[in-house]
Chain A
Amino acid sequence: MANLVIEREVLIEAPVLVVWHTITEPDQMSQWFADRVELVVEPGAHGYMGFGDQGGPVVVETVDPPTRFSFRWNHPRGEEPVTGNSMLVEFTLTPEGDERTLLRVTESGHELLAWPEAEKERYTGEHQGGWAEYLERLSDVLAKRQSV
């Protein structure tokens, strides 16, 4: 999880099992994710996500109910998605009491995954906020500099 591209989280007023079903059942997934979801939620299962007339293959990676679910996508058609040619989407569910769940999602990928461990740790330590925040900060600094 060190190699963040995007990290987002939300607190949900529902038990962890309810959230788990929402993110892993294909008929539920089609309500928040893709228009068309063809997926068996089992490790290694190949599926398809359609967005309008676009879409692509998805491969399930981790299924650890009710706390971890991950899949790879955005890999070249016809290739097996592996570290280095795909994006990894990971959901982590943390129960906060019986009626509340913290849901975190990270989308990471590509070159970052091939980094040496030490480098990844350094990166996480220094840039906990993720890439979006980093870039926003750079742009802010630049805007201030230019307005002077």
Chain B
Amino acid sequence: MTAPTDDALWSAIADPSRRLVLDLLVSTGDVSASWLAGRVPFSRQAVSKHLVVLQQVGLISRRKQGREVLYQIETDRLDEATRTMAALAARWDRRLTSIKRLAEAAHAGAQKKRRP
């Protein structure tokens, strides 16, 4: 399987309903689609669709246990997504810190010229 693009991953996570499903899976572990459907304000069919999307981007996986299909979080994929987001955010933090330093230095320089 080829790794899904980050775009697909972000859009999978961005949907509020899917986040709810993801939240439930993270906090409970292996559960069935029916169990999830009993805890969300949308239909069983919608739950199934969301599970498919989450599975396509690798955030969850499914396994059979007897006659039931259980879903669980793929920890590695979630960690990877978390690290990517944190890295992106950190990159902007660094850029903003540089902007702050440059602007404050420019301002201090201009003030010095004005009042020697």
* Chain A contact residues, CB within 8 Å of chain B: 3, 5-6, 8-15, 18-19, 21-23, 28, 31-33, 99, 101, 103, 105, 107, 110-112, 115, 119, 122-123, 126-127, 130-132, 134-136, 138-139, 141-142, 145-146
Interchain CB contact under 8 A, A31 and B98: yes
The B contact surface, by secondary structure, is helix
B residues 1-52 in Cβ contact with A at 8 Å: 7, 10-11, 13-14, 16, 19, 22-23, 26-27, 29
Residues of B whose CB lies within 8 Å of any CB of A are 7, 10-11, 13-14, 16, 19, 22-23, 26-27, 29, 73, 75, 78-79, 81-82, 85-86, 88-89, 92-93, 95-100, 102-104, 106-107, 110
Contacts of A115 in B (CB 8 A): 14
> What residues on B are CB-neighbors of A22 within 8 Å?
99, 102-103, 106
Q: Is the CB of A10 within 8 A of B79?
A: no
A139 touches B82 (CB 8 A): yes
Is B102 a contact of A31 with CB atoms below 8 Å?
yes
A–B Cβ pairs within 8 angstroms, 26 of them:
A3-B14, A6-B85, A18-B106, A18-B110, A32-B95, A32-B98, A103-B96, A105-B95, A105-B96, A107-B92, A110-B10, A110-B11, A111-B11, A122-B16, A123-B16, A131-B13, A131-B14, A131-B85, A136-B82, A136-B85, A138-B22, A139-B78, A139-B82, A142-B26, A142-B78, A146-B75
* CA–CA, A123 and B10, complex, Å: 13
B residues near A141, Cβ cutoff 8 Å: 23, 26-27
Q: Given A32-B95, A112-B11, A123-B16, 12 other A-B contacts at CB below 8 A?
A: A8-B92, A12-B99, A18-B103, A18-B110, A23-B99, A101-B103, A110-B7, A111-B10, A111-B14, A127-B19, A138-B22, A138-B78
Tell me the minimal C-beta distance from A30 to chain B in angstroms.
11
Distance, CA A146 to CA B85, complexed state (A): 22
* Shortest Cβ gap from A17 to chain B (Å): 10
Are B99 and A8 touching (Cβ within 8 A)? no
Question: Which residues of chain B are within 8 angstroms of A110 by Cβ–Cβ distance?
Answer: 7, 10-11
Cβ-defined contact, A14 with B92, below 8 A? no
Tell me whether A19 and B78 are in contact (CB under 8 A): no
A4 to B100: give the CA distance in the assembly, Å: 23
